[in-house]
Amino acid sequence: MGKKIIILASGGGTNAQNIIQYFDKHDNIKVHSVLCNRKEAGVYDRVNALGVQCQWFDASNDLTLEDYMKEYQPDLIVLAGYLKKIPPSLVKGYPNKIINIHPALLPKYGGKGMYGMHVHKAVKAAGETKSGITIHYVNEHYDEGGVILQKAVTLDSQDTPSDIGAKVQQLEYAYFPKAIEQLLS
């Protein structure tokens, strides 16, 4: 099979879909499965339609996640809109093998509660002239792991938080799969 990715998601799954489609024709890297901690998330339909297994797991039980990873031995664990903190035991068990994408230029606008539209509203409120993405390793603290890649986009003063989100999302789609590919090559 080559290199194996397991994705963790909590929401609609557009980044998971983008990653799966990117590696669909890849010879050496495949998305094995997607795990989701929310039963009502949109990611299930999106991912299952692509022929990749997507299943719910109980995020309050750290052992469930750790057992799954032990069984399937991913080369990389990718957080794509996953909103729960990764258990310290999993971080220790997979050093530099868990990555996340954050919708801002860290260290700004990171930390607990800073995700999705919360980030874009904060960026707008601060009058920032640019925002972007940070792809980083996951450690024991929210959004504090080593930076793998940052890409920025220029903001206009009339951009709404939704406009900022759309610009940032385009960067996510363009760069997240490529960063994953580089890490696994």
- What's the pLDDT tens digit per position in 5-63? 999 999 999 999 999 999 998 999 999 999 999 999 999 999 999 999 999 998 888 67
26, 32, 102, 136: which one is catalytic? 102
How much of the chain exceeds pLDDT 70, in percent?
Answer: 99
Location of structure tokens 């090559």: 185
What are the pLDDT digits (tens) for 124-150? 999 999 999 999 999 999 999 999 999
pLDDT band of 91, cuts 50, 70, 90: very high
At residue 1, the pLDDT reads 60
Helix axes 14-23, 161-184, angle to 10 degrees: 30
**Cα torsion at 75, 91, 131, 5 (round to 10°)?**
20
The domain at 1-95 falls in which architecture?
3-Layer(aba) Sandwich (3.40)
As given in the structure block, the two tokens for residue 139 are 């450690």
Average pLDDT, the chain: 95
To the question of pTM greater than 0.85 for the whole model, the response is yes
* pLDDT value at 80 more than 70: yes
148-151, long-range: CB < 8 A, 24+ apart: 148/99, 148/179, 148/183, 149/175, 149/179, 150/105, 150/106, 151/175
Q: What is the CATH number of domain 100-185?
A: 3.40.50.170
- 102 catalytic per annotation: yes
Ranges in the chain annotated CATH 3.40.50.170: 1-95, 100-185
